[in-house]
Amino acid sequence: MPDVPDRDDREAEIARLLGKWMKEQQKLILQLLGDPPDLSKLPPQFWEEIGAEGVAILRPFMNKEALAAAERVLGTISIGVDWALINEAAVEWATRYTFELISGINETSRQALQKLIPSYFEEGLSQGELRDRLSNLYSPVRAEMIARTEVTRAAVEGERMTVRELARYGVQMVEVWQTRNDEIVCPICGPKHGKKKGDGWTENDGPPAHPRCRCWINHEAVL
């Protein structure tokens, strides 16, 4: 199976929405921190609320990408499966994983702020300098990195949930790692190109094997 169709467009749309969420989050954080900044003004409830907003943005995309990948797998075989079960699995996975992902993103931001605010006082930063440093944390680059990585993850998971369903019908398939196999493939993924799961890699190490990983998996029937 080829790479995710229209990948650039899919990544761009997710990055745009995440970038908007991050920009609004940065603005709100600066407002709440005050001058001088006080971290106690960002209680756990604040992170829970913005986390819920992030989940609401990302979950539909993760569900959609997983289902699209599932359909691509089914388009290559002649055996029918219960699509309702695959849809249910996609919804369950997207809900659980997106919550974990957004929680991790916010935890990274929270820890960065815990280091940044003391610097404000130690280095005598201005509000403008604080804003600039926060901009690095909530940058479009970060949104793009997340979007690229998670399109890969959703596509891989969609294929896997379909293959698990096919196994119920006695169809056994093995994963084969695929890269673009060109000069920009990274040293992590390059050696795995064309390798079956168990031959130097496991389900736990990808893809995505790293941030911005654009690898994918093919499935071959076990004869």
Domain borders along the chain are: 7-170, 172-223
User: What is the DSSP code (8-state) at residue 5?
Assistant: T
Question: Where would I find the H helices in the chain?
Answer: 7-33, 44-74, 83-122, 127-137, 140-167
Residue in the block written with tokens 């369903």:
165
Tell me which residues of the chain have a pLDDT lower than 50.
none
Q: Name the residue type at position 193.
A: H
Check residue 203 and give its pLDDT. 78
Torsion of CA 164, 167, 172, 174, to 10 degrees: 0
Q: Are 117 and 37 in contact (CB under 8 A)?
A: yes
Q: Are 179 and 185 in contact (CB under 8 A)?
A: yes
Torsion of CA 155, 218, 71, 147, to 10 degrees: 10
Check residue 1 and give its pLDDT. 52
Check residue 133 and give its pLDDT. 87
What distances in angstroms separate CA 55 from CA 58, 99, 121, one per listed residue? 5, 6, 33
